Structure 1
Amino acid sequence: MAKHKIAILAQDHPGVLQRIAGLFGRRGYNMESITVGSSERAGLSRITITVAGDEREAEQIVRQLGKLIDVVEVAILRHRAVIARELMLVKLAAEPAKRPEIFAVAETFRCQTVDVGPRSVIIQVAGEPEKNDALLQLLEAYGILELTRTGETAMLRGE
């Protein structure tokens, strides 16, 4: 199944996100990820939802979202012209002797070390989900204590 990124510009009012999520629940669609934040326009939020399905299903979701009163714009972001990133924080078991190895892996993936404790380190990385998945495979050997991912946020390239 293909993944589709849907960009939504919606009114920044209480309950808007609940109505959007409710639409997905009623229609039986699953969100793989959702990010929400302020947009360049006052009073509007930008929402990016990643869904798995075929092109027809993605188009149907867009049509249904477009009917919601608080939705100002909605579109599928086509993969070839999209910049997409996900933020990930990973807490690793890290005795002092293992840290140079962990830091070397982190540097290869352009991660930042954001915390160092007596027996753990936390690294931060922003990138495409596939890159983050590859990093996690390498880090599993060190013992992942905790993990959090934001979900993808995306926008079209160019003007």
Structure 2
Amino acid sequence: MSKSAYEIDDHHDSVERYVVVAWVDNEAGVLARVSGLFSGRGYNIESLAVSEVDHERKISRITIATNGTKEVIKQIQAQVLKLVPVHKVNIYPINEETIFRELALVKFIGEGEILQKAEELCVDNKFEFLDKTSKSFIVQALGLRTEIDEFIKKIKALGTVSISRTGALAMKKGSETVKDNKGLVL
């Protein structure tokens, strides 16, 4: 019976959350190849965000949140880097040297005091209101995944909620830039 990459670890290292960032050519099939590599080897994708970051060079940035030991994450990095057309793969551990954010759009539907309590929760969290009616609102929630999770838990307890989330985004602090093998900034 085939085992997941998470079950094979003989070193008993702790499983931690990481963000894997791959800079790729923006062309058809790239996302399928990267995500297929994860599923084909038993790696779980917790969240995934992808967007073009350089229109002239047609380069997109794929950001994947996953869990694994340091050894598993290094394997993921090496395997993704072997894919064509991947230019660079960086691993961002969850620590104070990296900025992590997630965005959620949250629609709340309610009336009277319940709607007011939900609005106060959003104000307390300093989230931006994008739409308001007498029976609903949409708020933009920006923060760490744990902050967004806690907010969603609290607002769901108040009433009807619809949620759309981006997944994790990450960037290393400081003036250091990421460059491809030609020395061009990604």
Give the TM-score of the pair, scaled to structure 2: 0.80
Instruction: Pick one of 139, 142, 155 that aligns with 2:155.
Output: 139
User: 1:154: Cα distance to partner?
Assistant: 1.0
Q: Corresponding residue for 1:34?
A: 48
Instruction: Pick one of 92, 96, 101 that aligns with 1:77.
Output: 92
Q: Corresponding residue for 2:6?
A: none
Contact 1:90 1:144 in 2 (8 A): no
Kindly tell me: are residues 3 and 144 of structure 1, through their superposed partners in 2, closer, same or farther at Cα, counting changes over 3 Å? farther
Residue type matched to 1:68 in 2?
A: L
Identity %: 31
Q: As a proportion of its length, which structure holds more strand?
A: 1
Other structure's SS at 1:137 match? helix
Contact 2:110 2:160 in 1 (8 A): no
Give distance in 2, aligned partners of 1:99 and 1:45: 40
Other structure's SS at 2:157 match? helix
User: 1:138: Cα distance to partner?
Assistant: 1.5
Which segments of 5 or more consecutive residues in structure 1 lack a partner in the other structure? none
Pairwise CA RMSD = 1.5
User: 1:2: Cα distance to partner?
Assistant: 1.1
Size of the aligned set, in residue pairs, is 159
User: 1:98: Cα distance to partner?
Assistant: 2.8
Contact 2:17 2:94 in 1 (8 A): no
Q: Corresponding residue for 2:75?
A: 60
Contact 2:115 2:136 in 1 (8 A): no
Tell whether 2:61 aligns with 1:46.
yes
User: 1:45: Cα distance to partner?
Assistant: 0.5
User: 1:42: Cα distance to partner?
Assistant: 2.8
Q: Name which of structure 1's ranges 114-123 and 142-151 shifts more when overlaid on structure 2.
A: 114-123
Tell whether 2:130 aligns with 1:130.
no
Give distance in 2, aligned partners of 1:78 and 1:118: 43
Map Cα deviations across residues 101-124 of structure 1 (whole Å, 9 max, x no partner).
Answer: 222210111111222234222211
Other structure's SS at 1:98 match? helix
Residue type matched to 2:16 in 1?
A: A
Other structure's SS at 2:113 match? coil
**Which structure has more RCO (C-alpha within 8 Å, separation ≥ 6)?**
1
Which segments of 5 or more consecutive residues in structure 2 lack a partner in the other structure? 1-14, 176-186
Give the TM-score of the pair, scaled to structure 1: 0.92
